[in-house]
């Protein structure tokens, strides 16, 4: 599994999550941060750091933000 960064991060990009990720798999893109699902070790360290509550385990992502699973994967691959 992976963690996913959803819509609240758009144009927010607080970046506190980047500081705590032990494997450096959170990537900054033009409008939001994303998590590289091929690198995330599912540790959960990033989730409580986000001031806008944009980070979720993939299996607990609110349904309205399900498209962000693909968005994280595609933007991570494009910006790696």
Least distance in angstroms from the C-beta of 23 to ligand SF4 = 5
Q: Contact at 8 Å (CB) between 54 and 8? A: yes
Q: Interacting stretch for ligand SF4, rule CB under 6 A, among 6-14, 18-26, 64-72?
A: 18-26
Nearer to ligand SF4, 10 or 39 (CB): 39
Candidates 6, 21, 33, 50; binder of ligand SF4 (CB under 6 A) is 21
Nearest to 21 by CA among 51, 52, 55: 55
Question: What is the spatial distance between Cα 59 and Cα 71, in angstroms, rounded to a whole number?
Answer: 16
Bridge partners (DSSP) of residue 3 are 57
Give the total residue count for the chain: 80
Binding mask 26-45 for ligand SF4 (x = CB under 6 A): x--------x----xxxxxx
* Number of other CB atoms surrounding residue 75 within 10 Å: 22
Binding site for ligand SF4 (CB under 6 A): 3, 20-21, 23, 25-26, 35, 40-46
């Amino acid at each position: 599994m992976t963690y996913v960064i959803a819509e609240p991060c758009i144009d927010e990009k607080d970046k506190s999550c980047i500081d705590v990720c032990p494997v450096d798999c959170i990537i900054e893109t033009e409008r939001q941060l994303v998590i590289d699902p091929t690198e995330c070790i599912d540790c959960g360290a990033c989730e409580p750091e986000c001031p806008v509550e944009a980070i979720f385990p993939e299996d607990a992502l609110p349904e309205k933000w399900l498209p962000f699973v693909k968005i994280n994967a595609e933007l991570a691959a494009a910006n790696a």
